[in-house]
Amino acid sequence: MSETSMSPLSSSDVADPQSGQDARGIPLQQVGIGRVRYPILISGWENDAKRQREVDGLFDLTVSLAAAKRGIHMSRLIESLHQWEGALAPATLQNFLTDLREQQGAESAEMSCQFTWFVERPAPETGKPALQGIETTWHASQNSKEGQSGYTLAIPVTTLCPCSQAISDYGAHSQRGWIRVRLDWDNDSDIVAPAEVFEALQHAGSAPIYPLLKRPDERHVTMKAFEQPAFVEDTARQAATLLREKLRVTRFRIDVRNEESIHTHDAIAVITSGDS
């Protein structure tokens, strides 16, 4: 290969097809990149705003595209991610989206970041501590007029079937349930910390789930579940009640899924409230 063919191109020589025009007259609401793994500092999961932790984030980053433009500069989305300074939190998501919009000259932008936040939880009787991972997603949207920020949590619980308890001579079947709750707030609203939501909603089923249980702890959890049987409908309604009455949250979406232990199907229940 000749030296001429290997010589670097100047910025003015590089082809830039995505900056061209499009004559079809069709705008796109979202264009961008998905499932991008990137390390990021996270804060805001707990009430202590200074508590930060580096996590392995899984990002979706998109912006709108005007009808006359052929494409966006996707590399700039990675640049925005790499150049972001400080921690990413519900309180800073709008600033992050402003950067995306400005770099792309876009009317609107959306983002999500999935990660696992670990909380130390003591066993209910022995107090033995262990870490429990809570799957969390930060998400936000913004246009030139308004923006919304929020998060989604996946909270595991134990549920014990009321029918099984009522008809059995002894014992009752139980299973793991998942409470998936999504909360969104407008820019001028106060955001409830995910730690508060987790602490409240882990009690919406028959019993909480713990990462470490010794024999006295297992006895405590199984007896508690037997004393508080709950259908999937009960769990969803109790989760909504806890959000409204204990945390004063009025806009939410709750998806509950029980991984049934004696059926081939899952049991599901969904509640939406407000604009979610």
Mapped to the 3 state alphabet, what secondary structure does the chain carry?
CCHHHHCCCCCCCCCCHHHCECCCCCCEEEEEEEEEEEEEEEECCCCCCCCEEEEEEEEEEEEEECCCECCCCHHHHHHHHHHCCCCECCCCHHHHHHHHHHHHCCCEEEEEEEEEEEEEEECCCCCCEEEEEEEEEEEEEEECCCEEEEEEEEEEEEEECHHHHHHCCCCCCEEEEEEEEEEEEECCCCCCCHHHHHHHHCCCCCEECCCCCCHHHHHHHHHHHHHCCCCHHHHHHHHHHHHHHHCCCCCEEEEEEEECCCCCCCEEEEEEECCC
The whole-angstrom separation of Cα 269 and Cα 256 is 5
Question: Which pTM does this prediction carry?
Answer: 0.88
User: In the chain, what is the straight-line distance between the N-terminal and C-terminal CA atoms, in Å?
Assistant: 59
pLDDT band at 242 (very low <50, low <70, confident <90, very high): very high
Six token digits for residue 81: 């991610």
Q: Is the Cβ–Cβ distance between 90 and 149 less than 8 Å?
A: yes
pLDDT at 189: 78
More confident: 140 or 5: 140
**How confident is the model over 88-95, as a mean pLDDT?**
94
pLDDT in tens, 19-33: 678 889 999 999 999
User: How many residues are there in the chain?
Assistant: 276
* 8 pLDDT above the threshold of 70: no
CATH for 29-273 (3.10.270.10, 3.40.50.970, 3.20.20.70, 3.40.1030.10): 3.10.270.10
pLDDT band at 102 (very low <50, low <70, confident <90, very high): very high
Chain mean position to CA 224: 29
pLDDT at 171: 83
pLDDT at 51: 87
Buried b or exposed e, range 169-180, using 16+ CB within 10 angstroms: eeebebbebbbb
* 1 pLDDT above the threshold of 60: no
pLDDT at 26: 95
Strand 147-160 with 207-208, pairing: antiparallel
The whole-angstrom separation of Cα 73 and Cα 208 is 46
pLDDT band at 169 (very low <50, low <70, confident <90, very high): confident
